[in-house]
């Protein structure tokens, strides 16, 4: 057991040692059984690194039923029929055992919500006299040189086994864009020093606009403004074009810190600005403005003041970069480091490559290459994708997704052997990113909103070990 690394897609990588005791990890136990619907594919694999072999077990039944239970812990009886079983691994006398069964149970803890574990649960389903259930699991063994190859080959096996197909929907792309773009109309706030689209801390019951203007991460108001500008121009929708230009203009005037960084998060009603800056939000802000400037240049419009502002941030990036190529995750306006963790580094690669193309400045390309040297040495070669988000240091989807996108960007601007090398790194990271995405449709019970609306989960992404839920963070990765 001590020689093994484990893989439960979208939930467990290696030994989950980046995650604390409040999340599923070896810090809490070296044996874990979980509900199958926690996983982007209902599979558990154990990889023996000393022998280069991997054994997996996958459930391949029809998943079409789920029922609610009155309790979340202890022994519970489901209120009807379920399709959900359990899977996982256990240390039995020093040997790894792949465990699986039906219906579900979770041991030694059950996951409730972000960083919240509860006592174990074991479910039972009534089987009346004369009734029968047929359940199917498939065992598979493969050879793999390392954990990275184990994930690649096992994910290909998961995809080939589940063969996910596009979801049939009555809505056209044009109709969806028309509806979704209404967000730019409804959420526009123009009564503050910087105009913005309100989405952070949104209450779903009311959809009222909030006082939070955020660059990057959840708010992404500058990238939203670029999308509104581009879409509004395409659709001859002047209201969107005007609000987008107003956001860019007000951020140019009022959106920067004394040192020239973006004011990342501003709470206007509370007169509060987030003092800690992050390489992720700053990078996503620069990325958005470079998209905007390139779009404007194509339409023969120039913005020299924005170009000056971006060069200040980009040159500050060069100052922040560490000798190993990494960037600190958080820092102050005076450049003192708040959080030196390097997992957010690939978020900086994208704007650095774009800035090299836009400004024709090779310093930015050299900086981007150094970021990928760090990614190769610390994340990709170790199959250790961590801390790409703002606070958690755990194994997460966005770390592998950003690593794949960063190496892809560098492959686009290099040639020959160098390009091939970056493309190979991209492919390695891409399999980890892909592994977080559901290849199957999780059944939901009647009476649960997701069951009542008929949500199909295939193609949605799990998020992280510490915060296990589905989200839509995929759109650029689809291109990669």
What is the extent of the structural domain holding 432? Answer: 251-280+290-479
Q: What would the pLDDT profile of 341-358 be if each residue is shown by its tens digit?
A: 998 999 999 999 999 999
Same domain, 142 and 266: no
Q: Cβ neighbours of residue 129 under 8 Å, at least 6 residues apart?
A: none
H or E stretch covering 354: helix 346-359
Angle of helix 238-254 relative to helix 221-234, nearest 10 degrees, comes to 150
Whether residue 180 lies inside any domain: the answer is no
Cα three-residue angle 114-119-124, rounded to 5 degrees: 110
Q: In the prediction, which pLDDT does 90 show? A: 98
Q: What would the pLDDT profile of 411-456 be if each residue is shown by its tens digit?
A: 999 999 999 999 999 999 999 999 999 999 999 998 889 999 999 9
Whether residue 75 lies inside any domain: the answer is yes
Question: Which token pair is 414?
Answer: 């290099």
Whether residue 397 lies inside any domain: the answer is yes
Q: For a pLDDT cut of 70, what percent of the chain falls above it?
A: 100
The CA distance from 44 to 42, in Å, is: 7
Tell me what the mean pLDDT of segment 242-247 comes to: 98
Whether residue 209 lies inside any domain: the answer is no
Q: What would the pLDDT profile of 251-278 be if each residue is shown by its tens digit?
A: 999 999 999 999 999 999 999 999 999 9
Banded model confidence at residue 473, pLDDT cuts 50, 70, 90: confident
Q: Cβ neighbours of residue 179 under 8 Å, at least 6 residues apart?
A: none
Q: For a pLDDT cut of 90, what percent of the chain falls above it?
A: 91
The better pLDDT of the pair 393, 186 is held by: 186
Q: In the prediction, which pLDDT does 424 show? A: 98
Q: In the prediction, which pLDDT does 130 show? A: 97
Whether residue 259 lies inside any domain: the answer is yes
Of 143, 162, 181, the residue at which a domain comes to its end is 162
Q: In the prediction, which pLDDT does 149 show? A: 97
The CA distance from 344 to 438, in Å, is: 24
pTM for the model: 0.95
H or E stretch covering 251: helix 238-254
Complete DSSP assignment for 144-171 = -SSHHHHHHHHHHHHHHHH---PPP-S-
Tell me what the mean pLDDT of segment 215-244 comes to: 97
Coil, helix or strand at residue 138:
strand
| Nearest one of 385, 471, 381, 397 to 434, comparing CA atoms | 397
Q: What would the pLDDT profile of 192-210 be if each residue is shown by its tens digit?
A: 999 999 999 999 899 999 9
The CA distance from 311 to 361, in Å, is: 10
Structural domain count, the chain: 2
Same domain, 157 and 30: yes
Of 137, 162, 187, the residue at which a domain comes to its end is 162
Same domain, 325 and 455: yes
Cα three-residue angle 462-463-469, rounded to 5 degrees: 65
Banded model confidence at residue 189, pLDDT cuts 50, 70, 90: very high
Tell me what the mean pLDDT of segment 26-53 comes to: 96
Q: What would the pLDDT profile of 312-325 be if each residue is shown by its tens digit?
A: 999 999 999 999 99
Q: In the prediction, which pLDDT does 477 show? A: 83
| Nearest one of 261, 237, 248, 259 to 293, comparing CA atoms | 248
The CA distance from 372 to 345, in Å, is: 9
pLDDT above 80: residue 476: no
Banded model confidence at residue 475, pLDDT cuts 50, 70, 90: confident
Whether residue 204 lies inside any domain: the answer is no
Whether residue 30 lies inside any domain: the answer is yes
Beta bridge partners of 267: 212, 272
Complete DSSP assignment for 17-57 = TTS-TTSSSTTT-S-EEEEGGGSSSSEEEEEETTTTEEEEE
The CA distance from 403 to 230, in Å, is: 27
Same domain, 255 and 158: no
**Where on the phi/psi map is residue 124: left (φ > 0), alpha (ψ -120 to 50), or beta?**
beta
pLDDT above 80: residue 388: no
Strand order in the sheet with 337-339: 277-278, 330-331, 337-339
| Nearest one of 209, 364, 222, 205 to 282, comparing CA atoms | 222
Angle of helix 362-374 relative to helix 304-320, nearest 10 degrees, comes to 40
Question: Which token pair is 247?
Answer: 């956001």
Banded model confidence at residue 386, pLDDT cuts 50, 70, 90: confident
Whether residue 422 lies inside any domain: the answer is yes
Coil, helix or strand at residue 69:
strand
Average pLDDT, the chain: 95
Same domain, 156 and 264: no
Q: In the prediction, which pLDDT does 66 show? A: 95
Same domain, 150 and 256: no
86 touches 101 (CB < 8 A) = yes
Same domain, 427 and 317: yes
The CA distance from 402 to 351, in Å, is: 12
Task: Give the CATH number for residue 456.
Answer: 1.50.10.10
pLDDT above 90: residue 389: no
Of 133, 162, 191, the residue at which a domain comes to its end is 162
Question: Which token pair is 119?
Answer: 């006592």
């Amino acid at each position: 057991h001590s020689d093994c690394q484990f893989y439960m897609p979208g939930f467990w990588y290696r030994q989950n040692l980046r995650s604390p005791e409040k999340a599923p990890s070896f810090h809490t136990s070296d044996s874990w059984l979980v509900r199958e619907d926690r996983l982007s594919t209902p599979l558990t694999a154990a990889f023996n690194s000393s022998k280069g072999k991997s054994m997996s077990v996958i459930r391949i039944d029809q998943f079409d039923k789920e029922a609610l239970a009155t309790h979340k812990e202890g022994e519970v009886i489901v209120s009807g029929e379920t399709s959900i079983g359990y899977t996982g691994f256990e240390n039995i006398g020093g040997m790894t055992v792949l465990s699986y069964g039906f219906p579900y149970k979770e041991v030694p803890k059950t996951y409730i919500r972000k960083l919240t574990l509860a006592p174990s649960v074991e479910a039972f389903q009534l089987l009346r006299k004369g009734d029968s259930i047929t359940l199917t699991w498939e065992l598979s063994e493969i050879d793999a040189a390392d954990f990275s190859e184990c994930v690649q080959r096992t994910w290909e096996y998961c995809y080939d086994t589940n063969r996910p197909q596009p979801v049939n929907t009555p809505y056209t792309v044009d109709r969806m864009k028309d509806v979704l773009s209404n967000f730019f109309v409804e959420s526009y706030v123009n009564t503050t020093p910087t105009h913005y689209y309100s989405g952070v801390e949104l209450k779903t019951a009311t959809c009222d606009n909030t006082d939070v203007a955020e660059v990057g991460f959840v708010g992404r108001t500058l990238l939203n403004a670029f999308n509104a500008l581009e879409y509004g121009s395409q659709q001859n929708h002047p209201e969107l074009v005007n609000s987008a230009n107003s956001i860019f203009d007000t951020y140019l005037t009022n959106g920067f810190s004394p040192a020239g960084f973006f004011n990342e998060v501003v709470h206007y009603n509370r007169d509060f600005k987030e003092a800690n800056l992050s390489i992720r939000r700053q990078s996503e802000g620069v990325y958005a403005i470079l998209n905007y400037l390139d779009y404007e240049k194509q339409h023969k419009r120039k913005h020299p003041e924005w170009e000056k502002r971006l060069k200040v941030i980009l040159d500050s990036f060069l100052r922040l970069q560490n000798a190993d190529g990494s960037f600190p995750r958080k820092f102050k306006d005076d450049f003192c480091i708040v959080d030196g963790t390097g997992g957010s580094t690939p978020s900086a690669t994208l704007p650095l490559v774009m800035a090299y193309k836009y400004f024709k400045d090779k310093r930015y390309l050299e900086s981007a290459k150094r970021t990928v040297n760090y990614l190769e040495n610390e994340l990709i070669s170790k199959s250790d994708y961590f801390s790409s988000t703002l606070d958690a240091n755990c194994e997460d989807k966005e770390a592998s997704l950003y690593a794949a996108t960063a190496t892809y960007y560098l492959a686009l601007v290099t040639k020959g052997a160098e390009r091939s090398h970056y493309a190979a790194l991209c492919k390695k990271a891409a399999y980890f990113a892909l592994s977080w995405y559901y290849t199957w449709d999780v059944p939901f019970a009647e009476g649960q909103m997701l069951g009542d609306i008929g949500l199909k989960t295939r193609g949605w992404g799990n998020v992280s070990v510490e915060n296990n839920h589905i989200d839509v963070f995929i759109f650029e990765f689809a291109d990669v």
